Amino acid sequence: MFGLNKKDTSLLIIVGLLTLLAPFILNPFPEGSAMAQFNAGYPDLMQRFVIFGIFAIGFNILFGLTGYLSFGHAAFLGVGSYSAVWMFKLLSYNIIPAIALSVVVAGLFSLLIGFISLRRSGIYFSILTLAFAQMSFALAYSVLSNPKFNLTNGETGLQVYADDPQILQVANSPDLPHLFGLPMRATYTMDVGAWSFDFNAGYYLCAIIMMVVFYLSIRIFRSPFGMMLRAVKSNQQRMNYTGLNSKPYTLAAFVISGMYAGLAGGLMAAMDPLAGAERMQWTASGEVVLMTILGGTGTLIGPVLGAGFIKYFENIFSKINDNVLHSWFAFLPDGLEDAVVFVIHPFIGKGWHLTLGILFMLVVIYLPGGLVEGGQRLLNRIKRKKSKADDAKSGKTEPAE
Amino acid sequence: MDAILLQILNGLDKGSAYALIALGLTLIFGTLGVVNFAHGALFMIGAFCAVTLQKLMNLSFVTIDETQTDFLGNPLKVETPYIEGWFGPETGATIIDWSVPLAVLFAIPIMLAVGYVMERGLIKHFYKRPHADQILVTFGLAIVLQEIVKYFFGANPIQTPPPDALSGSIDLGIMVGFDANAIIYPIWRLVYFGFAVAIIGAVFSFLQFTTFGMVVRAGMADRETVGLLGINIDRRFTIMFGIAAAVAGLAGVMYGPLNPPNYHMGMDFLVLSFVVVVVGGMGSLPGAVLAGFLLGILESFASTTWATTTIPGINQIIIYLVAIIVLLTRPRGLMGRKGVMEE
């Protein structure tokens, strides 16, 4: 289907079902129960899942396929957000021109940065992209917000004001981001018994866009172009010796991933019409690297998994506090309970970044392939156990590895 | 003329910090071939060594002074630091006043130990892995270290004042024959610069004039051959990692009075220090030092009102611009060896 083989089609369908049914899947606990805080099915968080999913899918096209580690991808996301908000300010709150412009601007911006940065590879490439991103951050934060030429509105962040032109704004259209009159914040809540499920227009828009770009990324992975990128990763020198100029390919990959980031930034602004410079900071670039690595670099589903994983646990861990812990460990004797809570305390609430850092180190050290590799290893182990049991029955011996 | 001199002086303190961090980064890269993204965190830990020592010194015991009363008429509780109790009030107060310079002594063993543990515990396993993996794992480590410090010391900057004798400013202009008040310069910045020069001198002479340093230099040139000669080069490189950590840590200790330490100061310096290393030339020690001071001074020139009105924002981006130009025109950096990491 759609020019995909059977395996990829089923992957696409599974991802599609998961995202479309996410409001159900992410809300497994009834409203008001003690576990309700682990529900993730509210619009804001679900939107973040898919938007960062898009960002990570795009990053994976560059890092996963070519092996070029960019430490400045957040710059494209920020540029995308800024252009989307500018479209809101100048034209109207309709999100179509906003998202279109954010993709185009991020594409052009990444073309420029990629053209320069890709003249180097390896660690130099990482540092160059980092330098460019920090430069954009510094510019957006201070210089581009002077009264004469206010492009970014500095520290406050760019937002839409009442006296903005909005020349295409129709009289009775909603006064917040909308798609031809359908506001992005529109939410239909369905109550089933003790459960309540939210269906949010903005989420479904992002989800559909993510399906489309996920499909595109599968096609890129399976295309001759994707093959070429993989060849760059495995041995660029040899590629060059065969007389092939690999630069157009890497540049194309860089621009594509920049456009993905711009799309994510545009969607972010479409969900909440605000753009700030902190989205471009290098810690933000680090976050998307974390997501991709954690999920599984170079795999199709990995980045989406990683983005969902990080955003989900960020949300949950930040919510747990000492009282919650005390209620969990209430069954332990008093002294022990306090001790356990004391030990766990640094890792929860505001300490989420500590947990994330440790998790990230563990993944890089022990599981370079990320969650996907972990899953595969687990599957293999189960399979091997089964086959061993079979072997034992038939009395076969395996040769030493 | 005096304006130019003033800008050069202004650039010296940041330049010193860049040079010291970049020196450590280059040492690690040159010896172990590892790209250490956690080096900024080491700088930050050094600064917090000073904070810790200051806190330790201010630990106090409470005595009740019958001669003074508070506003309710009760005897006043007086907190006396233990140090003052041990050494007498005057000596004790002086020791507390000098806590930042004393923290240098306190930080050396700590930083050496931190560096040693880091290398043996983590970096060792990453020699054979690609640079991307090294960047990622040390990036993770930097986050962890930073969060641990944040957990213990909070997110707000903590003041670490310099000793009274070294705070305040002096009029440098008169000493070199300019008008009075032409160049007023904070003393601690001069101290920092002198300290940085001393450390850099110490590291270079250690490498140049000791047998240990000679072996290390030989190992940097050809690790395998040195290993084949029956020298345990790995152990020496581990010690060099500890020394690099100590250099970054000491840079952090002394930087406290210039800018109150907070938990993310390391990250802020790290990005710039990497840029410095790249400009100076990956693996070249003199290059790192030269580029550190050059970029620091350049940044200070770019921050003058004349420069910022001509090109707005130039002070924010000058370092990155220089790095981009250098990387594109002379990829091995100012003083890099030919063929080292040129791709």
Q: Is the domain of A121 the same as that of A219?
A: yes
Q: Find the chain B residues whose C-beta atoms sit closer than 8 A to any C-beta of A.
A: 35, 122, 125, 131-133, 135-137, 139-144, 146-148, 151, 267, 271, 274-275, 278, 282, 312-313, 316-317, 320-321, 323-324, 327-328, 331, 341, 343
Residues A56 and A205 in one domain: yes
CA B118 to chain A, closest CA, distance in angstroms equals 13
* CB contacts, 8 Å: A356 with chain B: 143
Give how many domains chain A has, as a whole number: 2
Q: Are residues A103 and A218 in the same domain?
A: yes
Residue A267 has a pLDDT of 93
Task: Judge if A245 and A372 occupy the same domain.
Answer: no
Q: Is residue A133 located within the same domain as residue A251? A: yes
Say whether both A135 and A281 belong to one domain: yes
Domain for residue A399, yes or no? no
Domain that holds residue A226: 22-298
Nearest residue on chain B to A64, judged by CA atoms?
A: B132
Chain A contacts of B274, Cβ < 8 Å? 127, 130
- Which ranges constitute the DSSP H helices of chain B? 2-32, 39-57, 82-87, 89-97, 99-121, 131-153, 172-175, 187-209, 211-221, 223-228, 233-255, 265-280, 285-302, 305-310, 314-329
Same domain, A191 and A280: yes
Q: Which domains does chain B have, with CATH numbers?
A: 2-50+101-329 (1.10.3470)
Looking at the fold, whether A382 and A276 belong to one and the same domain comes out as no
Q: Over its length of 343 residues, how does chain B's per-residue pLDDT go in tens digits?
A: 677 888 888 888 888 989 999 999 888 888 888 888 899 999 999 999 999 998 888 888 877 777 777 777 777 777 777 777 777 777 888 888 888 888 889 899 999 999 999 999 888 888 888 888 888 889 889 989 988 998 888 888 888 888 888 877 777 767 766 776 767 788 888 889 999 999 999 999 999 999 999 999 888 888 889 989 998 988 898 999 999 999 999 999 998 888 888 888 887 788 888 888 888 887 788 899 999 999 999 888 888 877 777 777 777 788 888 888 887 788 788 887 765 555 4
User: Which residues of chain A are under the pLDDT cut of 50?
Assistant: 401
Residue A106 lies in a domain: yes
Residue A147 sits in the same domain as residue A262: yes
- What's the pLDDT at A401? 47
Which of A246, A265, A298 lies at the terminal end of a domain, its last residue?
A: A298
Same domain flag for A119 and A233:
yes
- Report the residue of A117, A134, A282 to disrupt the B interface, i.e. the one with the largest count of B CBs within 10 Å: A134
> What residues pair up with B338 in beta bridges, in sequence order?
none
Other Cβ atoms less than 10 A from the Cβ of B125: the count is: 12
Which of B141, B144, B264 should we substitute to test contact with A (largest number of A Cβ atoms within 10 Å)?
Answer: B144
Task: Give pairs for A227-236: CB < 8 Å, separation 24+.
Answer: A229/A61, A229/A65, A229/A66, A229/A253, A230/A65, A230/A66, A232/A65, A232/A66, A232/A67, A233/A65, A233/A66, A233/A67, A236/A121
In a mutagenesis test of the B interface, which of A120, A283, A364, A365 is the best target, namely the one with the most B β-carbons within 10 Å?
A: A364
Whether A116 sits inside 8 A of B328 (CB atoms) is yes
Instruction: Give the C-alpha separation, A289 to A271, whole Å.
Output: 23
One domain for residues A286 and A171: yes
